[in-house]
Amino acid sequence: MSSTTVNPEEVAWFTAIADEWWDPNGKFRPLHKFNPTRLTFIRERLCAHFGLDETAEQPLKGLKILDIGCGGGLISEPLCRMGAQMTSIDAGDKNIKTAMVHAEAGGLDIDYRCVFPEDLAAQNVQYDAVLNMEVIEHVADIDAFLDASCALVKPGGAMIGATLNRTIKSFAMAKVGAEYILGWLPRGTHDFSQFVKPSEFADGLRKNGLEVKLMNGMTFNPFRDSWSLTNDLSVNYLLFATKQT
């Protein structure tokens, strides 16, 4: 594999804690907490775009979805249960091994691969939908990463992304608060300079033929200990984009 987008230090950091992916009270607790909100956004947006029945037992059946930076499979497994044909990739071999073991134990057929998006794009494969969930802030070259990711979306397909905005508020809450005060994340999880503004994300997609159709914020309610979709993009945000036919 030839690396153009992978940040080796980031891969090593996540690889070191790969065994904790499926511990809801471990180092990935925040991902477990807001996973239901992410999954709701994904299901609703993909069903609306592809004309699928959101209330069906397997609402995403028939869709081929690529999950980039899948980690231990926290997004891939639920989407597989919703009927999607999942291909899930990560730069960390240990992450992929953890994901494969967990999926096998659950009887799930997910195509896990330790491969970079640019290498997959070189194979001229495309998917109905590509997911970039909390990964773009960890890559070495955002432009190259988005070029490769967008090439993997078929014409008429969609991309869903999630990341952290680069604002004073996000620095205070997602970096200082989450890592140093509340201890929700291990110190060093994020580099504030790598946070991505919505305009930057959208520009990178637009130059590759994708148009952002919707953006939502994800906001934490400490009294309910839960996350919800909002219009506040100042910290965490999600976007839905489609590729021209």
Amino acid at 131: L
Binding residue positions: 38, 69, 90, 133
Any idea what DSSP says for residue 89? Answer: E
Whether 142 and 204 have beta carbons less than 8 Å apart is answered as yes
Write a three-state SS string for 211-235.
EEEEEEEEEEECCCCEEEEECCCCC
Q: What is the DSSP letter of 189?
A: S
Bridge-based pairing state of the strands 111-113 and 210-221: unpaired
- Residue 174 is given by DSSP the state I
Annotated binding-site members for S-adenosyl-L-methionine: 38, 69, 90, 133
Q: Which of 64, 71, 62, 68 is nearest to 14 (CA)?
A: 71
Q: Which two tokens stand for residue 219?
A: 């906001």
As given in the structure block, the two tokens for residue 147 are 């070029």
Give, in order, the Cα–Cα distances in Å from 55 to each of 49, 82, 129, 227, 240.
Answer: 15, 11, 20, 22, 20
